[in-house]
Amino acid sequence: MMQPLEPPESLHLQAAQGWLELGNPIEADEELDQITPQHRAHPAVLELRWEICAKAKKWDAALEIASALVQAAPDHPLGWVHRSFCLHELERTAEARDNLLRVAHKFPEDAIMLYNLACYECRLGRLEQTKHWLRAAFEIGDAQQLKPMALKDQDLEPLWKEIGSL
């Protein structure tokens, strides 16, 4: 894992996070541009850039950033999850699923990865696999938080009537 950012880069990152929380992605992006080029590939910087692109629904750009995040931190699940989310938003759901299936064994405690796998399987019409991944996500994660989320998730609509019993 990379070292934490030091000032002034860490201050630019904090300011960018603040701008994004205030709903101003343009200022957030400009703040990240203040970070020196050698630190722009830091996972924390890439994560925030991804959030900016995702909020703007710029999925092609977000996909590039998520891929860079996977390169920078391959042993952290977030880049993998983000990359698959982008692929799904770009209507490349089978690719999104395959991306996560390749690494799910490395992150058996990541409930969001398992939940997203369930969503992708459901979109692909594979309901038995969907149930498998949902059960696993509910076991590992906070089922009281995940089940209500699943009941609102359009990707999982075919299973809404069954989610309570999973």
Q: What is the structure's pLDDT at 2?
A: 66
Within a domain: 144: yes
Share of the chain above pLDDT 70, in %: 99
Within a domain: 113: yes
Within a domain: 129: yes
With a CB cutoff of 8 Å and minimum separation 6, the contacts of 68 are 41, 46
Q: Find the domain containing 136 and state its range.
A: 108-166
User: How do residues 74-92 score in pLDDT, each as one tens digit?
Assistant: 999 999 999 999 999 999 9
Which pTM was predicted?
Answer: 0.92
Average pLDDT of 115-124? 98
Within a domain: 70: no
Q: Could you give the residue ranges of the DSSP H alpha helices within the chain?
A: 9-21, 25-33, 43-55, 59-72, 77-89, 93-101, 111-123, 127-140, 143-150, 160-163
Within a domain: 116: yes
Average pLDDT of 37-51? 95
Within a domain: 58: no
Q: Using CA atoms, how far apart are residues 62 and 54, in angstroms rounded to an integer?
A: 6
Q: Using CA atoms, how far apart are residues 125 and 119, in angstroms rounded to an integer?
A: 10
Q: Using CA atoms, how far apart are residues 147 and 166, in angstroms rounded to an integer?
A: 9
Count the domains in the chain.
Answer: 1
Neighbour-count burial of 4, counting CB atoms closer than 10 A to its CB (0-12 exposed, 13-18 middle, 19+ buried) = exposed
Q: Kindly tell me if the per-residue pLDDT of 1 is higher than 80.
A: no
Classify the C-alpha dihedral 92-98-101-103 as positive or negative: negative
